[in-house]
Amino acid sequence: MPLDPTPTAALGLWHHVTLLQVKDDARDLTLRQLAILLHVYLVPPPHTVRGLAGTLNVTKPVITRALNTMGEMGLVDRVRDDLDRRNVLVKRTVAGALYLEKLGDLIIHQARMMRG
């Protein structure tokens, strides 16, 4: 795949990566859950439910449902903010970091495969 891919090539890469994720035995994430997870890991903390809702332009219950699922998977943790007990902080986990590292490796591998 070229360094400056066409939209079709970029979509082809995304297609291959998502197919491999769905074929994997592990539970897959919705696009919203993946966006939340990437935000938590790629944007410096702190991350709050309220902040994530604002960033994704959704309600707090939408974020809470996504975090419930990702918490069950061990990808994130939630704790009360000691400085402001009204806030719930979203914390990174080792399992979440490993999930995204594996995803990143998969994207790199597929991009190289498409380059030929």
Residue 2 pLDDT greater than 60, yes or no: no
Q: How many CA atoms lie within 13 A of 99 on its CB side?
A: 22
| Domain coordinates in residue numbering, the chain | 7-115
Rounded (5°) CA angle 100-15-47: 30
Distance CA 6, CA 10 (A): 6
Residue 85, pLDDT score = 84
Residue 114, pLDDT score = 84
**CATH value of 7-115 in 3.50.50.60, 3.40.220.10, 3.40.50.2300, 1.10.10.10:** 1.10.10.10
Q: What is the pLDDT of residues 11-59, one digit of tens each?
A: 999 999 999 988 886 778 999 999 999 999 999 999 999 999 999 999 9
**Which of the pair, 68 or 82, is modelled with greater confidence?**
68
**For the chain, how far is it from start to end, CA to CA, in angstroms?**
8
